[in-house]
């Protein structure tokens, strides 16, 4: 949805009453916008991470996730007008701790994954009331890819250099022990209504 359509949708929602819940069609349009923004974040971060792995190896690529991932999320947030971040209950970055809605969303996506849904298509959304007002919330699953295991897999299988760099950069790291196909976390999107 382009900015003009989004603006028209926002005005329609305001005219319908701030306390009202957006229609199913409006929520589907907001989900499409969130899906597009989360896809942009995933694509740009994945591209930069792969390039850094090729140029600097796993130890050098850690800086992409530490420094560039938050910058990319901020850039995508600014372009889309949405608040976007990556979170996980097993966070590496202290800023990546999920709030209650995000933790519940990831748990629901993990149940759907266990029931056989494809990890690349897992997402969910909901309109919620918060102390700041009503929000549209969206979560996109971040499945573990084989390349992720270099820094997020079994610590016993990690190189000494990666372990040392992780210990230096993330002394409170909880983001290891993953296997391919598990959910590493979610891309979380918020939009005030």
- Architecture of domain 23-192 in CATH? 2-Layer Sandwich (3.30)
Summarize the confidence of residues 66-78 as an average pLDDT: 95
Q: What is the chain's Cα-based Rg?
A: 18
Q: How many CB atoms sit inside 10 A of residue 89's CB?
A: 17
Which conformational region is residue 116 in: left (phi greater than 0), alpha (psi within -120 to 50 degrees), or beta? Answer: left
Q: Could you report the per-residue pLDDT of 139-185, keeping only the tens digit for each?
A: 999 999 888 899 999 999 999 999 999 999 999 999 999 999 899 99
pLDDT of residue 181: 87
Q: What is the pTM of this model?
A: 0.86
pLDDT of residue 1: 53
Q: What percent of the chain has pLDDT over 90?
A: 80
Task: Work out the burial of residue 133: count CB atoms within 10 Å of its CB; fewer than 13 is exposed, 13-18 middle, 19 or more buried.
Answer: exposed
Summarize the confidence of residues 59-75 as an average pLDDT: 93
Q: Where are the domains of the chain?
A: 23-192
> Alpha-carbon distance 143 to 93, whole Å?
18
């Amino acid at each position: 949805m382009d900015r003009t359509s989004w603006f028209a949708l926002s005005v329609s929602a305001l005219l319908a009453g701030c306390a009202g819940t957006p229609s199913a069609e409006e929520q589907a349009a907001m989900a499409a916008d969130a899906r597009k923004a989360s896809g942009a974040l995933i694509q740009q971060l994945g591209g930069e991470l792969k390039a850094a792995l090729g140029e600097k190896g796993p130890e050098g690529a850690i800086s992409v996730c530490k420094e560039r991932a938050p910058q990319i999320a901020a850039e995508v947030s600014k372009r889309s007008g949405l608040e976007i971040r990556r979170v996980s209950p097993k966070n590496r970055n202290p800023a990546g701790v999920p709030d209650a809605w995000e933790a519940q969303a990831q748990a629901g996506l993990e149940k759907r994954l266990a029931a056989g849904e494809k990890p690349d298509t897992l997402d969910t959304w909901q309109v919620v009331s918060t102390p700041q007002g009503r929000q549209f919330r969206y979560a996109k699953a971040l499945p573990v890819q084989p390349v992720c295991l270099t820094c997020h897999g079994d610590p016993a299988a990690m190189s000494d250099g990666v372990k040392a760099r992780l210990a230096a950069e993330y002394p409170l790291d909880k983001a290891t022990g993953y296997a391919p196909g598990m959910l590493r976390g979610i891309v979380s999107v918020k939009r005030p209504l």
